[in-house]
């Protein structure tokens, strides 16, 4: 039983203490009769900044209605969330999203009463990170505080329905993903097991491929780029489509096939850039170059159109990064065409959501693949029996982890055997107060913390 416990958190940290200590720190009357299981929000002045502060109280933890009161040692005692803007080494481009100068990384830390800390995260292509952070801070953190961190399935369901009416499948899926991943990190650390074993433990190595965001490259630069993937241990590569003419796309596919040879696997990705009719014509041409799959040939909402691309174009269809609920995957599989489903744990509801899609795929005799977050998906694919291909994405989140970039050896990557999810960010990722401003094509980093001077490749934005 947990009684009269209050936690005060802002965007950068979590402050906890006795009821009266926190009440006094906010200038509130200590004689107030606080009501259990409620949350109050205040704006409080911290230094020169105004921070949104949540005070929550709780009286007990239960897993499911009617369950017995559980030990308070696994209660969630604090949640913090930080948003980073991470500059890319070079500007990347694709057909639908345009130029990428940076990506956003939202990192969540959850602490339990038994002093186990879980780290979770999600990412964006450069937009929406502040909205994701706001949903975590304003809507979801207060929901989870005081709950039993072992009840991941229950908490996942609670979070889904808590914001379902306003955010189903959109920002909510990203926010829930970060929190869910942190809860799984706690579960694995508490069990002293690596994620790939605790989530299923099928086999430690998974097939992988180099996934380029490379539409900005000339044809010769493209061929040189894919050969770097081959030199770095990959036996499969994926390139972007979406040049001004279809003839250019076809020429690039043929050039890459000649460069890598017939012994290597080739995939293509249109990022929803084609109409259905265009995609069917293109598919017929790509098939001549022995392409394994045609990823996101058109918008995922057009289920009938996507099915036509696969059937009339005579090619396998991949996709999933823009499907953010298990129901969207079910519709795509049942009514559209999805030969290689690619759930992304950053936007499908985290590890819990990804495993649900993996089970759905297995029930339809389909492999489950991945999109992005290779530092995490290597463990998820290693956990399941129907693992397909793992993408090594061009957003190098793994570069900022203690384990470093995921390595490919003869076309395979190996899941880490460390306790937890295996994803722990380097210390600079927890420095606060570094503001990144963009000016034309250059990054101007304003260092507001002396410790951040050694980490000027990263920026943090917190509100």
Count helices and strands in the chain by DSSP H and E runs: 14, 18
Per-residue burial over 162-186, b if 16 or more Cβ lie within 10 Å, else e, is bbeeebebbbbbbbbbbbbbbbbbb
Name the DSSP letter for residue 379.
Answer: H
Task: Report how far apart the first and last C-alpha atoms of the chain are (Å, whole number).
Answer: 34
d(CA 249, CA 394): 20
Backbone dihedral angles phi then psi of residue 114, each to the nearest 5 degrees = -85, 20
d(CA 310, CA 97): 24
The pair of structure tokens assigned to 461 is: 């934005």
Backbone dihedral angles phi then psi of residue 440, each to the nearest 5 degrees = 55, -125
Q: Which of 117, 104, 1 is nearest to 400 (CA)?
A: 104
CA distances from 118 to 112, 233, 413, 443 (A): 8, 32, 24, 31
The question of whether 371 is a catalytic residue gets the answer yes
Active-site hit among 51, 100, 324, 371? 371
100 and 93 in contact (C-beta within 8 Å)? yes
d(CA 90, CA 349): 30
328 and 296 in contact (C-beta within 8 Å)? no
Active-site hit among 51, 133, 240, 393? 240
Catalytic residues: 240, 371
């Amino acid at each position: 039983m947990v009684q009269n416990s209050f936690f005060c958190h802002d965007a950068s940290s979590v402050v906890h203490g006795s009821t009266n200590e926190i009440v006094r720190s906010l200038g509130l009357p200590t004689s107030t009769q606080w009501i259990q299981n409620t949350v109050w929000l205040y704006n409080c002045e911290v230094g020169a900044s105004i921070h949104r502060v949540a005070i929550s109280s709780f009286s007990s933890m239960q897993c499911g209605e009617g369950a017995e009161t559980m030990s308070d040692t696994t209660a969630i005692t604090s949640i913090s969330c930080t948003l980073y803007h991470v500059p890319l080494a070079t500007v990347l481009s694709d057909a639908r999203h345009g130029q990428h100068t940076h990506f956003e990384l939202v990192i969540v830390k959850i602490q339990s009463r038994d002093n186990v800390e879980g780290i979770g995260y999600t990412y964006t292509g450069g937009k929406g990170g502040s909205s994701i952070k706001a949903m975590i801070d304003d809507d979801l953190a207060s929901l989870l505080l005081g709950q039993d961190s072992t009840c991941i399935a229950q908490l996942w369901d609670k979070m889904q329905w808590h914001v379902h009416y306003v955010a189903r499948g959109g920002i909510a899926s990203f926010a829930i993903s970060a929190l869910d991943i942190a809860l799984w990190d706690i579960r694995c650390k508490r069990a002293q097991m690596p994620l790939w074993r605790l989530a299923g433990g099928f086999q430690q190595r998974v097939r992988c491929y180099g996934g380029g965001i490379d539409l900005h490259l000339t044809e010769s630069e493209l061929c040189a780029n894919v050969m770097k993937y081959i030199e770095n241990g990959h036996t499969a590569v994926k390139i972007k489509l979406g040049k001004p003419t279809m003839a250019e796309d076809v020429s690039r596919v043929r050039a890459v096939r000649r460069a890598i040879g017939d012994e290597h696997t080739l995939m293509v990705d249109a990022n929803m850039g084609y109409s259905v009719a265009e995609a069917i014509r293109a598919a017929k041409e790509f098939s001549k170059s022995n392409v394994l799959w045609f990823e996101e040939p058109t918008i995922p909402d057009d289920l009938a159109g996507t099915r036509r691309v696969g059937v009339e174009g005579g090619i396998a269809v991949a996709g999933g990064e823009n499907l953010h609920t298990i129901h969207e995957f079910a519709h795509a599989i049942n009514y559209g065409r999805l030969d290689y489903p690619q759930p992304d744990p950053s936007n499908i509801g985290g590890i819990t959501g990804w495993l649900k899609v993996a089970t759905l795929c297995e029930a339809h005799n389909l492999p489950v693949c991945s999109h992005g977050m290779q530092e995490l998906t290597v463990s998820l694919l290693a956990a399941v029996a129907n693992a397909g291909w793992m993408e090594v994405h061009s957003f190098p989140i793994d570069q900022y982890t203690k384990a470093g970039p995921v390595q490919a050896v003869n076309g395979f990557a190996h899941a880490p055997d460390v306790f937890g999810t295996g994803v722990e960010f380097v210390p600079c990722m927890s420095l606060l107060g570094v503001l990144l401003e963009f000016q034309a094509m250059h990054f101007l980093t304003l260092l507001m913390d002396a410790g951040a001077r050694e980490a000027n490749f990263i920026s943090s934005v917190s509100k």
